[in-house]
Amino acid sequence: MILAVLEASDGSLKKISAELAAAARKAQALLGADGVALLLIGADDVAADAACALDCDLCLTVKGEAFSGYAAEAWAAAVVQAAKDVSAPLILFGSTSFGRDLAPRVAGLMEAGLLADVAELTLEDGHLAAARSVYSGKVNARLASLSAVTLATVRPNAFSPAGSAAPQAPRRELEVAVDPASVHCRAREVRRQAATRPELTEASVVVAGGRGLKDPENFHLIEELADLLGAAVGTTRATVDAGWRPHSEQIGQTGKNIAPALYINVGISGAVQHISGVFGSRTIVSVNRDAEAPIFKISDYGVVGDALEILPHLIEEVRRLG
């Protein structure tokens, strides 16, 4: 069976989980596997029931004190056991901070190949192959795994979730024994900030602002537009380094990779480090007063003009249509 490792937070599945189930179903058809199994570690019954409602044939859960919080060694051991339990030729993770940390550990334990940040799965010469963008979207690379078991991290929004399964897939709890001495690092505390907007990496619409806004006080315009669109707010490293915005909003090579259906950026010139984090976006709308700004090279729509003059008109128009 194809195995997908899901993500949950506060009792709810993350958006990437449904996308992983869709990617697993596609991989099953390509490889001729006998089904799709979803793995949920350390989550409650509400999240487990939601997982069983996804397009899958089996839902595996792992619970216990060792899995009450994220501990990489313990969770990697759980994935390895689940993969052996279902004889998985392919294990999928989200290309998220969680998946990028866990997948390489599992690959090392299983001595398996890892395809990172993939946006497409195909079959070439009998081997699973994947496509991913590199060099800030300038080149599309095709990768193939030659190992008996393959791992892959899947870029968010690359696969459209299928409808819920009917009836729900059966659920089975795995017993995973973990030696406490093998766990060298564990999260002791998680401090959550109140959030009224979607999480940046899971949002279908993202509105971002850069130094072209001239002053941190002008970010209220970005926030106002984002709230009208039900969007997440993003920014660049330059504004974060200047203390304008928190690092949690940073997009790019040293921040977060996003792939929304719509990415609106205002006052962002388009440094290569920023572009590397947004090239998976389906539609990019850019506003910049420099007609030669690099951001326009990857944009679907561009507006040349002063951000502080254009944003109020854009907000007014969105409010009128909404």
State the pLDDT at residue 163: 64
Distance, in Å, from the CA atom of 117 to the CA atom of 131, rounded to the nearest integer, reads 9
Distance, in Å, from the CA atom of 158 to the CA atom of 90, rounded to the nearest integer, reads 18
State the pLDDT at residue 46: 93
Pick the CATH number of 2-182 from 3.40.50.970, 3.40.50.620, 1.20.810.10, 3.30.70.100: 3.40.50.620
What is the phi/psi pair of residue 162, to 5°?
Answer: -85, 175
Between helices 219-229 and 307-321, what is the axis angle to 10°? 20
Distance, in Å, from the CA atom of 280 to the CA atom of 21, rounded to the nearest integer, reads 20
- pTM across the whole model: 0.83
Structure token digits, residue 139: 């080149």
Q: What is the DSSP string of 251-315?
A: BSTTSB----SEEEEES----HHHHTTTTT-SEEEEEES-TT-GGGGG-SEEEES-HHHHHHHHH
Q: For residues 60 and 40, is the Cβ–Cβ distance under 8 A?
A: yes
Q: Which of 41, 69, 153 is nearest to 103 (CA)?
A: 153
Distance, in Å, from the CA atom of 294 to the CA atom of 257, rounded to the nearest integer, reads 18
State the pLDDT at residue 220: 96
How confident is the chain (322 residues) per 10-residue block, as mean pLDDT? Answer: 94 91 95 95 92 94 89 94 96 93 96 91 86 76 89 89 75 90 80 79 93 95 96 96 95 88 96 88 95 95 95 95 82
State the pLDDT at residue 322: 74
Cis bond upstream, residue 89 (ω within 30): no
Structure token digits, residue 165: 């399964």
State the pLDDT at residue 47: 93
Q: Which of 178, 209, 196, 201 is nearest to 281 (CA)?
A: 201
Please give the CATH number for the structural domain made up of 205-321: 3.40.50.1220
Domain range list for the chain = 2-182, 205-321
Q: What is the DSSP string of 131-154?
A: EEEETTTTEEEEEE--SSSEEEEE
